[in-house]
Structure 1
Amino acid sequence: MARVMMVCTGNICRSPMAEIVLRERLVREGLSGLVQVDSTGVSSEEAGNPLDPRARRVLAAAGYTDAGLTAHRARRIEFEDLEARDLVLTMTASHARAVRRLADMFDVSVPLDHVRMFRSFDPAAPQATHFQDESLLDVADPWYGDTSDFEECLEQVEAAMDGIIDYIRATLLGVDSQGGS
């Protein structure tokens, strides 16, 4: 089974939104039994808190029904998470740096392509050619905004999904788009 983890700041907005969207897409693609998806934050300040109500409303309005809408509880990333995941998708460049620092601090061997910017899978997103350019791929932070900011975040999450699904199929599961190997 492939394991994919989303990472944002507090694990109450962006990363659980992406987790819920990916999990529902995997169901539609017939891959749900082959991929485990979860999310974490780089901060512990929201630990134990549910999905932000604004995120829940925007996801529900868009038709997402995943149990994570009500069951999600924020948690902070631990070094063990890095060792146990095949792909770590970060919402911003600062999250990517925090994940890489965590790996270095605990001497966890993480291949370069193991930690990726979430929006790097969106063909319409700006292209980052080096780690210093990664901030071009940041998923907008809706925390200080209103409903429209959460809708923008969801749009950015959805725009990357086809690329993420293709990557999971080809790289993590070793199957083509028709399900063959």
Structure 2
Amino acid sequence: MIKVLFICHGNICRSPMAEFVLRDFITKIGMDDNFIVGSAATSQEEIGNGVYPPVKKILTSLGIDCSNKVARQINLGDTKSFDYIIAMESVNLDNLYRLFPRCDKSKVYLLKDFTDTPGDIADPWYTRDFDKAYKEIATGCLGLLKSLNQDALISLDEKQHKALDSLVI
């Protein structure tokens, strides 16, 4: 079982988008039983709020239901129980390490580390470019799955390989 936690500032835009996109990809390649996927905030600002409407609109257009998601803050247990803690931008990492200075850095990544263009995913709350954020997040999620397969942490049969290669971003 691979446990992935996505983090961003408020847990209403980028990290829930990544959570639900990765879950969707996992379902499409038939690996539901191999993953636990969640998301959390590094701040307390949005705790209890639902997914931000423009993000919900994008996910809904893809046939993804996120209506039960509410923002929550990462906790110490998360830092211990998840295998991968994947942030959207470097400031999220700074906040994570401020909250949990002893967090195991070997399991912490930026989502775009799994792409050909490492770096930050800008917060669409400020940029208003939710489509760009989606494309970067989906590309990162696809890259994560390919990385896990390449590192033999998941094992895909021929049908699953084809499904992975056919995922559309």
- In which range does the TM-score fall when normalised by the shorter chain? 0.7 to 0.9
Q: CA separation of 1:166/1:113 partners in 2, compared to 1, >3 Å: closer, same or farther?
A: farther
Aligned match of 1:87: 84
- Offset of 1:166 from its aligned partner? 2.1
- Any conservation in 1 of the 2:12–2:46 contact (CA below 8 Å)? yes
Q: Which runs of 4+ in 1 moved over 4 A?
A: none
Aligned match of 1:36: 36
- Any conservation in 1 of the 2:115–2:140 contact (CA below 8 Å)? yes
- Any conservation in 1 of the 2:7–2:86 contact (CA below 8 Å)? yes
- Offset of 1:138 from its aligned partner? 0.8
Aligned match of 1:134: none
Q: CA separation of 1:42/1:139 partners in 2, compared to 1, >3 Å: closer, same or farther?
A: same
> TM (normalized to structure 1)?
0.80
- Offset of 1:177 from its aligned partner? 3.7
| 1:18-63 Cα shifts (integer Å, max 9, x gaps) | 10000000011111111000000110110000000111112222x1
5 Å matches for 1:1-181? Answer: 1-61=1-61, 63-65=62-64, 67=65, 69-104=66-101, 107-108=102-103, 110=104, 112-123=105-116, 125-126=117-118, 137-146=119-128, 149-171=129-151, 174-178=153-157
Q: CA separation of 1:17/1:175 partners in 2, compared to 1, >3 Å: closer, same or farther?
A: closer
Q: Which runs of 5+ in 1 are unaligned?
A: 127-136
Distance 2:63 2:99 in 1: 32
Distance 1:60 1:45 in 2: 25
Identity fraction in percent: 29
| Counterpart amino acid of residue 120 in structure 1 | D
- Any conservation in 2 of the 1:166–1:177 contact (CA below 8 Å)? no
- Offset of 1:79 from its aligned partner? 1.4
- Any conservation in 2 of the 1:21–1:64 contact (CA below 8 Å)? no
| CA-based RMSD | 1.9
Q: Which runs of 5+ in 2 are unaligned?
A: 159-169
| 1:129-156 Cα shifts (integer Å, max 9, x gaps) | xxxxxxxx1112110344xx01110010
